[in-house]
Amino acid sequence: MLNFASIDFETANYNRSSICSLGIVIVECGKIIDKIYRLIRPRPNFYCSWATDIHGLSYYDTLDEPEFPDVWDGIKPKLRDFPLVAHNSSFDEGCLKAVHDLYGIEYPNYEFHCTYRTAKRKLPNLGNHQLHTVATHIGYDLENHHHALADAEACAEIALQIIDY
């Protein structure tokens, strides 16, 4: 897979629509050509302590940030018609569908690929298939795990090495 966009969302609470940060890495012809990181004011706008413990973001970090539609309008053209890749894509695709539904935005049926499921199939002897484990296995040093851009970068590197389409 040489052309794709890896994507990672962090959420503020149990609602998949509560996206509070977004990381995207655009890969064209097998090379990273763009990296995007945005903070987003989530809806509903409250943070669970467990979420803040994971990614470090809180209500005050995103209070003055734009909501999803304003952020997505600037990002969507950069995605072109590239497939999206995520580690545990069911979560990220679920977030994207939920936030489109919340704001009444037509969902264009993005094509998703999953590095988690691919890693389970292609690397069955790993102790687990969490993002940081797979990243380490392929020789990528994932610093700042659970930062949306750092996770999207790791996902892109994994996809370049293990997904063949």
Q: For position 165, what pLDDT does the model report?
A: 58
Q: Residue 132 belongs to what domain range?
A: 4-162
Q: What is the residue whose two structure tokens read 């569908």?
A: 97
Handedness of CA 131, 120, 51, 74 (dihedral sign): positive
Residues in the chain: 165
Q: For position 1, what pLDDT does the model report?
A: 75
Q: For position 149, what pLDDT does the model report?
A: 98
Q: What is the DSSP string of 103-145?
A: HTPPP----EEEHHHHHHHH-TTSS---HHHHHHHTT----ST
Q: How many domains does the chain have?
A: 1
Residue 65: CATH number of its domain: 3.30.420.10
What pLDDT digit, counting tens, does each position of 17-68 carry?
999 999 999 999 999 999 999 999 999 999 999 999 999 999 999 999 999 9
pTM: 0.95
